[in-house]
Chains A and B, each alone.
Chain A
Amino acid sequence: MLEPPTKITALVVDDDTINQMIHHRLLDNLGIRNQVVRNGKEAIDVHCSGKNFDLILMDMEMPVMNGIEATRKLRAMGIRSMIAGVSTNTRERENFMKAGLDDYQEKPLTTSKLVSILHKVHKDG
């Protein structure tokens, strides 16, 4: 049986509709309330609107603003959320981590990869 819904919230940042659906479902399945945006800029905008999340699943390659730039910007804005990079681009992994990631997982994301990310999430207060 599923665990009872947790209070953890998450933001999915990915331009690919299939990955959006899968990540959204993975999170739903674990009882995690989540929102989906299509690129780095939308991720920034949603934070500027006052929202905050415990976990951000950040794709790397996205139009308008990619994951590396979005991660840098979020950190510069003082966002302390756990940011997990989710990508297939191993060449840019180091740059991605340097931008301010707490974790990095290869796509495709699975329940067990997500659980290992969640073990690192801190809930403030």
Chain B
Amino acid sequence: MDRNHLKRQVDFMKRSFLDQGYLDEQFIQLEELQDDDNPNFVEEIVTLFFNDSARLLQNIEQALVSGPIDFAKLDNYMHQFKGSSSSIGAKRVKDECTRFKEYCTAGNAEGCFRTFVQVKQEHATLRTKLETYFQLARQAGPPGTSRGQVR
């Protein structure tokens, strides 16, 4: 397993996530906060995000299916979820959240249902992609050893 080859693969994967809009600049910002003392910072944050968001998504699902829809409550939940998504650079997820919130504001239940399916889908897709990414990144070893970046 050539380390450099793996590193190139990791970089390429990240590039493609950015190009396809799964992630945005915020993810890069988080990676720049990693160093020898905090080598797994991004993976830790992302893991935290997926744990937290699973709960939030459950709450939203509950709110959607139980009784008359409380759009204010939904909007509140989604605002939280959008915030965390934005914090880790989860662009596509964030964009779907924005759409959902627009339907909430408009009191459009059908729109909310439809968009929520999209939110869950983007969330699941990103989760899989990032799991693979971090697995590969761990195999490739800590960054910076071959970069020699000076700030």
Interface of A toward B, CB cutoff 8 Å? 1-2, 16-19, 21-22, 25-26, 29, 61, 88, 107-108, 110-111
Contact = CB atoms under 8 A, between A and B. Distances in A.
Contacts of B115: none
A107 B83 contact: yes
Prevailing SS type, chain B contact patch: helix
Given A17-B48, A17-B52, A18-B52, A2 B83 contact: no
23 contacts: A16-B87, A17-B48, A18-B45, A18-B49, A18-B52, A19-B84, A21-B45, A21-B48, A22-B33, A25-B33, A25-B38, A25-B41, A26-B33, A29-B35, A88-B79, A88-B82, A88-B83, A107-B83, A107-B86, A107-B87, A108-B29, A108-B87, A111-B32
B84 A18 contact: yes
B151 A22 contact: no
Contacts of A61: 79
A111 B29 contact: yes
Nearest to B28: A110
B88 interface: yes
B151 A2 contact: yes
A22 B83 contact: no
Contact of B30 (A16, A17, A22, A88): A22
B65 interface: no
A110 B150 contact: no
Contacts of A17: 48, 52
Interface string B107-150: 00000000000000000000000000000000000000000001
A26 to B, nearest CB: 7
Report, nearest first, the 6 A-B pairs whose CB atoms are least far apart: A108-B87, A25-B33, A110-B29, A18-B84, A18-B87, A108-B26
